[in-house]
Amino acid sequence: MKVLDTISFQKDLLSWYDYEKRDLPWRKENDPYRIWVSEIMLQQTKVAAVIPYFYNFMEKFPTLLDLAEAEEDEVLKAWEGLGYYSRARNLHAAVKEVRDQYGGIVPDTEKEIKSLKGVGPYTAGAILSIAYNVPAPAVDGNVMRVLSRIFTIYDDIGKDTTRKKFEQIVRDTIAEERASDFNQAMMELGALICTPTSPACLLCPVASHCAAREEGVQEMLPVKAKKKAARSVFLKAIVLKNTQGEYLVERRPDTGLLAKFWQFPFLETEKDGEFAAFLQQWGIDLEQVEYKEHIRQAFTHLVWEIDVYTVEVNHLTPAENQQVLTPSLLKELVFPVSHQKIVEKIEEEY
DNA sequence: TACCCGTGGAC
DNA sequence: TGTCCAAGGGT
């Protein structure tokens, strides 16, 4: 592996960062709680998507204690639409643990912080370095992309051992006195300059240190194994409305995909015959329902293909996991994005 | 290790 | 339209 002039690299990187760093809401104060929340929100999520959620979240839960004392449904509602909802549940649980076990102070040791729910190798390093300036590696996708190019490392970045290799490189390279800025600068460089496609090498402050640039292979890196294609699941959903203008919704199971979210009843099928049998539980015939639209919701590992139907009935009796609600009460509940699209059309079209 | 877990934007 | 993927973690 090539030898890096560490001091020169640090200087070039940090000088650029001092001048070019973005003005982001979680960079305004050095509150470990705010930094923690931002890091969880930023997991697999773009900065632009996080910003409005971060402002709203901080307004609702300004301090760690505010969040610790909130109801889970309230926390999930603030997370609705951001995705990966276990992040919200884990953060909520972890914040309670910090309140109870650490006197409300976010711990500053690697062992303690990694023991918190939802805090893995990256997030532990990010909080330690950004909040406490501890020289710990915070290796995310950006950092692996930047370093794979600097050193022309062709290891598959999807593998755990590869991340550990990059963590060791960061330990050897990090600016000890400016650990916070160094880690953030590496990520900032990955986000703004050393992008996945068409990296802006002509604008790169560390281009002179970059082996991939020298060899012209920057577009080949990093190496990442292809993921399996997502499988499609075909669903038929029914929006049931009674003569009072109320709607039937049901709660998803406590675990798994979109746990505890609300949805309109649906059946996993493409066949009208099976759908007809499904509708019989409300005494409805297939001829009574009206097809409204098709909604596609793509997850990382599967795709929902939803045909949406509506029907109006005289009376609706909710089962144990169901509710019959007015539109305004419906909007208080947490729905998957695909079903939010239905909720938005309720009253006018549905 | 491989799979599960969301969403919206870029290309 | 399809594909990829973004400051990952849990199991």
- Tens of pLDDT, residue by residue over A70-80, are 999 999 999 99
Indicate yes or no: strand B within 7 A of the C-beta of A337. Answer: yes
Is the pLDDT assigned to residue A253 strictly greater than 90? no
Indicate yes or no: strand C within 7 A of the C-beta of A142. Answer: yes
Between the alpha carbon of residue A147 and those of residues A184, A189, A198, A214, A234, the distances in Å are 14, 11, 16, 14, 42
Q: Hey, what are A237's tokens?
A: 């959903």
pLDDT for res A1: 79
Is the pLDDT assigned to residue A297 strictly greater than 90? no
Residue that the structure tokens 């599967």 belong to: A302
Indicate yes or no: strand B within 7 A of the C-beta of A298. Answer: yes
Q: How far is the CA of A91 from the C1' of B6 (A)?
A: 17
Three-state SS at A335 = coil
What average pLDDT does the segment A286-295 reach? 93
Chain B positions within 7 A of any protein Cβ atom are 1, 3-9, 11
Indicate yes or no: strand C within 7 A of the C-beta of A78. Answer: no
Q: Hey, what are A206's tokens?
A: 């560390």
Q: Which residue has the higher pLDDT, A298 or A53?
A: A53
> Which positions of A are annotated as active-site residues?
39
pLDDT for res A73: 93
Q: Hey, what are A42's tokens?
A: 């930023």
Is the pLDDT assigned to residue A229 strictly greater than 80? no
Indicate yes or no: strand B within 7 A of the C-beta of A141. Answer: no
Which segments of chain A are extended strands (E)?
231-242, 247-251, 262-263, 266-268, 290-298, 302-313, 322-325
Q: What are phi and psi of A186, to 5 degrees?
A: -60, -45
**Alpha-carbon gap, residue A269 to A1, rounded angstroms:** 54
What average pLDDT does the segment A173-184 reach? 97
What's the distance, CA A6 to chain centroid? 33
Is the pLDDT assigned to residue A66 strictly greater than 90? yes
Q: How far is the CA of A318 from the C1' of C6 (A)?
A: 40
Q: How far is the CA of A242 from the C1' of C3 (A)?
A: 42
pLDDT for res A301: 79
Q: How far is the CA of A242 from the C1' of C11 (A)?
A: 42
**Alpha-carbon gap, residue A316 to A310, rounded angstroms:** 14
Q: Which residues partner with A313 through β-bridges? A: A242
pLDDT for res A114: 96
Is the pLDDT assigned to residue A12 strictly greater than 90? yes
pLDDT for res A227: 72
The half-sphere exposure of A248 on its side-chain side, counting CA atoms within 13 A, is 23
What residues does each domain of chain A span?
6-220, 231-349
Nucleotide nearest to A188 (CA to C1'): C7
Q: Hey, what are A53's tokens?
A: 């959620």
pLDDT band at A222 (very low <50, low <70, confident <90, very high): very high
Nucleotide nearest to A42 (CA to C1'): C7
C-alpha angle with apex A221: A216 to A223, nearest 5 degrees?
145
The amino acid at residue A288 is: Q
A327 and A247 in contact (C-beta within 8 Å)? yes
pLDDT for res A115: 96
pLDDT for res A72: 94
Indicate yes or no: strand C within 7 A of the C-beta of A81. Answer: no
**Alpha-carbon gap, residue A80 to A286, rounded angstroms:** 33
Number of H helices, E strands in chain A: 15, 7
C7 nearest neighbour residue (CA to C1'): A42
pLDDT for res A188: 96
Indicate yes or no: strand C within 7 A of the C-beta of A38. Answer: yes
Q: What Rg value do the Cα atoms of chain A yield, rounded?
A: 25
Q: How far is the CA of A288 from the C1' of C6 (A)?
A: 44
Q: Hey, what are A333's tokens?
A: 């509940």
pLDDT for res A230: 76
- Quick one: angle between helices A179-192 and A121-132, nearest 10? 120
A251 and A321 in contact (C-beta within 8 Å)? yes
C8 nearest neighbour residue (CA to C1'): A43
This prediction has a pTM of: 0.83
CATH class of the domain comprising A231-349:
alpha beta
pLDDT for res A347: 82
pLDDT for res A344: 87
Four-way CATH pick for A6-220: 3.10.20.340, 3.40.600.10, 1.10.340.30, 1.10.3720.10: 1.10.340.30
Q: How far is the CA of A288 from the C1' of B3 (A)?
A: 41
Indicate yes or no: strand B within 7 A of the C-beta of A315. Answer: no
B10 nearest neighbour residue (CA to C1'): A197
Q: Which of residues 222-261 of A have CB within 7 Å of strand B?
A: 228, 256-259
Strands A247-251 and A266-268: unpaired
Nucleotide nearest to A125 (CA to C1'): C7
A54 and A310 in contact (C-beta within 8 Å)? no
